Structure 1
Amino acid sequence: MDLIGFLIIGLIAGWIASTFMRGGSMGLGGNLVIGVIGAFVGGFLFRLLGFAAVGLIGQLITATVGAMVLLYVVQVLKKA
């Protein structure tokens, strides 16, 4: 996937994750950062569990799950 596509998936995944998690949207830049880092986290976790993302929807799901995990970890660390 090219860089533009990766960033678009990261942006969408960050927006979806911030919508499902408490705290609401973090703006365009925040959603992009959370989504892109979440894509790496999700890819790592899915490979660890033996799953593989296939196609655009699979990549979006992987990035969204990773972004949600990342947001959860950030929320836990903020409370500590």
Structure 2
Amino acid sequence: MSLESLVVLLVVGGIAGWLAGLIMRGFGCGVIGNIVVGIVGAFLAGWLLPTIGVSIGSGIAGSIVRALIGAIILLAIIGAIKRA
């Protein structure tokens, strides 16, 4: 992975984490926490979705959607653990 790819992944993950925090009200971890969850969700979705055969699309919009899906899944899991 090149440095440019890593920077793009971090930016896209940050945007996705912020959006996921807005969508998943009550499950968030604060602005900084949601951005970190978005970055981790971007890595998670980048690995998981192709593994199960899901193709969202290409380009920056597809990357944001994939990262958003990963961040929402991760926030839901974190929210369920916090509530238990």
Question: Taking structure 2 as the reference length, what is the TM-score of the superposition?
Answer: 0.80
- Structure 2 residue aligned with 1:5: 8
Task: Tell me if 1:42 matches 2:45.
Answer: yes
| Identity across the alignment (%) | 39
Mapped contact 1:7–1:32 kept (Cα < 8 A): no
Question: Taking structure 1 as the reference length, what is the TM-score of the superposition?
Answer: 0.83
C-alpha distance after superposition, 1:54-80 (max 9, x if no partner)? 111111100000000000000111122
> Aligned pair count?
79
- Structure 2 residue aligned with 1:54: 58
Cα distance in 1, alignment partners of residues 29 and 75 from structure 2: 11
Q: Structure 2 unaligned runs (5+)?
A: none
- Structure 1 residue aligned with 2:17: 14
Cα RMSD (Å) of the superposition?
1.8
